[in-house]
Amino acid sequence: MEEKLDNISRKKERIDVKLWQGFFEFLKKYKIKVLLLLLVMVLVGLIEATFPYLTRFAIDTFVVPKSFNGFWKFIAAFSLLTTIQSINTYVLIVLAGKIETGMTRDIRNSAFSKLQKLPLSFFDANGTGPLIARIMSDVQRVTGILSWGMVDTVWGISTMTFITFYLFRLNWKMALFVVGSIPVIFFVSLYFQKLILRHYRIVRRYNSEVTGKFNEGILGAKTTKILSVEEKTIAEFSQLTSKMRQEAIKASVISSIYTPIIVQIGSIVTALILVYGSKNLEQGSITYGTLAAFISYSIQFFEPLRELSRVMADVISSQAAGERVMEVLRAQSEGESSREYALAEFGFEGNVEFRNVSFKYNTSDMVLKNFNLKVKKGERIAIVGPTGSGKSTIVNLLGRFYEPTEGKIYFDGVNYTEIDLRTLRKNIGYVLQVPHLFNGTIAENIAVGKPGCTLEEIVEAAKVVNVHDYIVKLKDGYNTLVGEGGTNLSVGQRQLIALARVVLANPKIIVMDEATSSIDAHTEHIIQESIDKILHGRTSFVIAHRLSTIRSADRILVIENGEIIEDGSHEQLMKKRGHYYRLYMQQFVEEKEKELFNV
């Protein structure tokens, strides 16, 4: 079973190189742009480091001797460098922007693709809101630091390297004041990065919970209004955002302390250079231009150092987001463990066997206990029982949405973990209690069952389930938009379209999970006729709430506490006068009372 992703283990609070290496894989696609960007940033750093050196030249050549010999050539060279720097700035913004947006798209595509391949247990453990937060805001944060953080890092390192070169070229003793501050800054950064990362992990977790509350508030708006709990919902959301705000403030305060410390170290170094340089100037060992250049360099040196410190802080704070994104990308897809043995081509007949199967969700009690069942090709199996008895678990295991905790499931004598997962699912058709339709046309939703099919095939499938006449009466016919989740259609209409989808897919096995429990009697009659057509000659599993709909089943299984307590046809079980008999008679009396009193 999947563990909840927010249960992050205690990681060392430092930059996780392996984590970021995983994201660097997405940079390979943009390697030419990345190399060009790196080259531009090195050039930017060189030019910025050269400006104070040119200032030294100007002071010693033009200002101190009060000579303008060659002044205009100097102005021309200075202007040329300024122009080149402006072009570099434009190029780096364009390149970094393209890398950021491209990586954002690629990571989101990879994350969405991974989500389609994850088992249902993953979604049981992780809410919709937190997953949306990972794919949207967390990915944006990661790609931002990878693109613009790379820009600032390369610029910072390049500028500091060239400044260090010029410093030692001018006066190696004074250069040591600047270079000697680097170890101090390193240890200060090491201390603060632990504190920053600790708080930002909490902030990102709260961000996911806030997104989840937003999602819950939208999807559950109707229920909230029915129960008149708007104020309670608002209070809960406000409490959550307040906690997130408190943690964000703590993280920001730590970051705001960190940067001034770096600035203070730089100010101390500048003061030392000013004092030491003034004495050397009096002694005549350095020029005015050299002292001016050193003061400029001591200030300029700490600007990229501050940027590198900020980038480090951003990397640390973004690492929490990166961990959450990478946990999705690295989550194990369903069926991965046995894929190398999978039988891609498997001829389904429809024989099914559950052999000593036990199952539990995560750490809960066993839902199924030593469950055994053999189903022959073409048999119609009805499953009834109270809520929580294990009915839906049986059909979920059948489609390998979950795998048995103990025991095995066989299709035509072959362990179903050895059958290619897509092959297995293509041969099992599901019709759920609340069918899901995709935001598109009716034709597109039916065609999901058989990609690439013709309109004639779609129409034929619709006719089989008695929905064609309804569709053609619509203004746009088969091109009618169903809305998000099929909201433009009634539950019964959605159910018929879902049935048409199954007809088009033509699976060997069909599962009906309380397919008629949420619709009125008239629509149920229409759907039941369609179901009888579809199930003919196919192995089928029907979970039913209304027992009157399963009287024609070959076998009816009564499930209680994960075990089969009765097994037989409708006539056989009625003769036994056991559990099924009592359930059926109770429903029969209730239905007759409704007819009598016209309820």
Q: What is the pLDDT of residue 34?
A: 92
For a pLDDT cut of 70, what percent of the chain falls above it? 91
Between 160 and 222, whose confidence is greater? 160
Residues 142 and 211 in one domain: no
DSSP per residue over 450-465, as a string? Answer: STT--HHHHHHHHHHT
Is 335 a residue whose pLDDT tops 50?
Answer: yes
Q: What is the pLDDT of residue 175?
A: 83
Residues 497 and 562 in one domain: yes
Q: Give domain status of residue 340, yes or no.
A: no
Q: What is the pLDDT of residue 267?
A: 82
pLDDT band at 127 (very low <50, low <70, confident <90, very high): confident
Q: Which of 273, 305, 332 is the last residue of a domain?
A: 332
Sequence-ordered list of residues with C-beta below 8 angstroms from that of 448, at least 6 positions apart, any chain: 438, 501
* 248, 203 contact by CB (below 8 A): yes
Q: Give domain status of residue 362, yes or no.
A: yes
Is 317 a residue whose pLDDT tops 60?
Answer: yes
Question: How many domains would you assign to the chain?
Answer: 3
Residues 186 and 148 in one domain: no
Residues 232 and 278 in one domain: yes
Residues 378 and 472 in one domain: yes
Residues 227 and 373 in one domain: no
Is 35 a residue whose pLDDT tops 90?
Answer: yes
Smallest CA-to-CA distance from 303 within 49, 82, 38 is with 49
Q: What is the pLDDT of residue 443?
A: 93
pLDDT band at 83 (very low <50, low <70, confident <90, very high): very high
Residues 246 and 131 in one domain: no
Residues 392 and 541 in one domain: yes
The enclosing H or E element of 310 equals helix 288-329
Q: What is the pLDDT of residue 519?
A: 61
Q: Give domain status of residue 103, yes or no.
A: yes
CATH number at residue 91: 1.20.1560.10
Q: Taking all residues of the chain, what is their mean pLDDT, rounded to a whole number?
A: 83
If you average pLDDT over residues 85-97, what whole number do you get? 93
Residues 165 and 256 in one domain: no
Q: Give domain status of residue 29, yes or no.
A: yes
pLDDT band at 337 (very low <50, low <70, confident <90, very high): very low
Sequence-ordered list of residues with C-beta below 8 angstroms from that of 173, at least 6 positions apart, any chain: 276
Residues 149 and 225 in one domain: no
Q: Give domain status of residue 345, yes or no.
A: no
Q: What is the pLDDT of residue 85?
A: 93
What range does the domain containing 98 cover? 13-170+321-332
Q: Which amino acid is at 389?
A: S
CATH number at residue 429: 3.40.50.300
Residues 464 and 557 in one domain: yes
Q: How far is CA 217 from CA 153, 268, 434, in A?
A: 41, 54, 21
If you average pLDDT over residues 177-188, what whole number do you get? 80
For a pLDDT cut of 90, what percent of the chain falls above it? 25
Q: Give domain status of residue 5, yes or no.
A: no
Q: Give domain status of residue 41, yes or no.
A: yes
Residues 438 and 531 in one domain: yes
* 527, 499 contact by CB (below 8 A): yes
Q: Give domain status of residue 304, yes or no.
A: no
Q: What is the pLDDT of residue 12?
A: 47
Our CA angle for 269, 15, 192, nearest 5°, is 45
